[in-house]
Amino acid sequence: MARPRTSARTVEHPSMAEVSLQQVLEALAEPVRRTVVSQLATAGEDISCGTFDVEVSRSTLTHHFNVLREAGVIRQYYVGTTKMNSLRTDEMEERFPGLLSALVTASALEADAPTH
């Protein structure tokens, strides 16, 4: 009996109506997670979990991705053993207009002109 050659592992995502502003802000108030979001926004393409440039262990990274996903910020799907990530940009824009984009902009701003 052939198993499906495309991964059957599915990932649960909340509908945007289910996510609260509180969740989104908690998710985005964490530096590592904001780094992830920034890299996703900059990349312009989906990125696998393992290729992010962050200095935490794999298990910690898994935790952060879970928080981001449950907050509706990212979408995840398996490709083989790797898990791809993308921003739910448009949906977030519809749910909380201007919020995610302002945040990404602010992140970029600060990267250029650090507070120091």
On whether the CB atoms of residues 85 and 49 are closer than 8 A, the answer is yes
Report the C-alpha gap between 57 and 30 in whole angstroms: 16
Structure tokens at 52: 């992010």
Q: Give strand pairing partners of 85.
A: 47, 76
Binding test (CB under 7 A) with DNA, winner from 82, 98, 109, 111 = 82
Q: Is 41 helix (H, G, I), strand (E, B) or coil?
A: helix
Minimum CB distance to a second copy, residue 44 (Å): 21
Report the C-alpha gap between 43 and 69 in whole angstroms: 18
- How crowded is residue 39: how many other Cβ atoms within 10 Å of its Cβ? 16
Contact region for a second copy (CB under 8 A) — 2-10, 50-58, 77-85, 107-115?
107-115
* Strand ranges for the chain from DSSP E: 47-48, 74-79, 82-87
Contact region for DNA (CB under 7 A) — 13-21, 64-72, 93-101, 102-110?
64-72
Residue 56 is a binding residue for a second copy (CB under 8 A): no
Say which entry of a second copy, DNA, none residue 90 contacts (CB below 5 to 8 A, set by partner kind).
Answer: none
Site string for DNA, 19-48 (x = CB under 7 A): -------x---x-x---------------x
Residue 36 is a binding residue for a second copy (CB under 8 A): no
Binding test (CB under 8 A) with a second copy, winner from 7, 20, 59, 76 = 20
